[in-house]
């Protein structure tokens, strides 16, 4: 279920922070519930993906060590776990709110399409990943019933596209020396085009974030313009991620690299502290 990947679901908490409502115990509890429910849903997606890809994973140099591919987790047990966890998570999502449950089911359905077909289509696979981040953001907004800034949504979508392409670039570099590709979709990617697209997306992401700080609206009693001072952190983070994904380290995902990279984590912590200070000191 990849618990270390659940850090991506922190996007669910963004509406709470930017709506300046994190000091409300009830809304904080709802947002935390939304975070864990999305984490369980993403866990279901990972289970489904490993069930579908069990044969190809067995032939992969590192994925062959995953529980299902390695035979440590029987396929039948994995299928039963997936069914039980999905049923329980969706039921709990309806308790939180009907809208949140609808977003959660849309997220899972989208990823079913990704696991069975769309992950083999270049750029569309990254588009699906980015859409998942938007659904996380919407889920967080519906969980606490606050409006979502269009600019914040645009920034999240562009950032997710950038991160997704960074993963593809890392995978391409990792298998380059072998003269082959371990994922079908990689054969249809061109590394030069990926790099150029990442530069465009980095500029677009920064522009959308800047637009949010200058033009964005919020229901909370603070001016998004105060966040203009956090733009340098965004530029540093995007640049550091590009550097990390430029390392051909097979068997290590960009998420693993980010979570173990001190400069990246320090910059992320500084950005988070600056946002909280600027939002809540108003």
Quick one: residue 222, left, alpha or beta (phi over 0 = left, psi -120 to 50 = alpha)? beta
- Given this model, what pLDDT does residue 259 score? 82
| pLDDT value at 23 more than 60 | yes
If you ran DSSP here, which 8-state letter would residue 247 be given?
S
pLDDT the model gives residue 106: 95
**Mean pLDDT, range 155-184, rounded to an integer:** 78
- Helices 98-116 and 25-52, packing angle to 10 deg: 20
Q: Which residues contact residue 167 at a Cβ distance below 8 angstroms, ignoring those fewer than 6 apart?
A: 245, 253, 254
Q: In the chain, what are the domain boundaries? A: 1-147, 149-282
Specify the long-range contacts of residues 275-278, CB closer than 8 Å, at least 24 apart. 275/17, 275/227, 275/230, 276/17, 278/222, 278/226, 278/227, 278/229, 278/230
**129 — pLDDT class (breaks 50, 70, 90):** confident
pLDDT band with cut points at 50, 70 and 90 for residue 245: confident
Spatial neighbors of 148 by CB under 8 A, at least 6 apart, are 15, 137, 138, 141
* Predicted local distance difference test score (pLDDT) of residue 248: 63
Q: What CATH fold (topology level) applies to the domain 1-147?
A: Tetracycline Repressor; domain 2 (1.10.357)
Query: Of 11, 23, 15, whose CA–CA distance to 282 is shortest?
Result: 23
Higher pLDDT pick, 56 / 233? 233
Task: Collect all residues with Cβ–Cβ distance below 8 Å to 131 and sequence separation of at least 6.
Answer: 110, 157
- Residue tagged 């919020």 (tokens): 218
């Amino acid at each position: 279920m990849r618990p270390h990947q659940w850090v991506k679901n922190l996007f669910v908490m963004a509406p709470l922070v930017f709506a300046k409502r994190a000091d409300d115990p009830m809304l904080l509890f709802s947002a935390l519930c939304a975070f864990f429910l999305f984490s369980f849903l993403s866990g279901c997606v990972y289970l489904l993906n490993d069930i579908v890809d069990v044969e190809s994973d067995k032939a992969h140099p590192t994925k062959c060590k995953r529980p299902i591919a390695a035979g440590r987790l029987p396929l039948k047990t994995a299928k039963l776990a997936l069914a039980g966890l999905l049923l329980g998570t969706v039921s709990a999502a309806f308790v939180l709110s009907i809208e949140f449950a609808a977003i959660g089911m849309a997220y899972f359905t989208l990823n079913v399409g990704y696991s069975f077909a769309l992950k083999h289509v270049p750029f569309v696979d990254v588009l699906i990943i980015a859409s998942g981040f938007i659904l996380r953001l919407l889920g967080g907004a519906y969980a606490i019933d606050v409006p979502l800034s269009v600019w914040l949504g645009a920034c999240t979508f562009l950032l997710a596209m950038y991160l997704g392409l960074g993963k593809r670039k890392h995978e391409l570099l990792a298998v380059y020396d072998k003269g082959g590709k371990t994922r079908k979709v990689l054969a249809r990617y061109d590394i030069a085009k990926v790099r150029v697209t990442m530069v465009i997306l980095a500029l677009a992401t920064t522009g959308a974030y800047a637009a949010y700080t200058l033009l964005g609206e919020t229901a909370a009693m603070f001016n998004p313009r105060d966040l203009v001072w956090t733009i340098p952190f965004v530029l540093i983070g995007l640049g550091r991620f590009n550097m990390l994904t430029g390392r051909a380290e097979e068997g290590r995902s960009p998420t693993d690299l980010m979570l173990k990279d001190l400069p990246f984590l320090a910059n992320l912590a500084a950005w988070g502290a600056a946002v909280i200070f600027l939002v809540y000191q108003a």
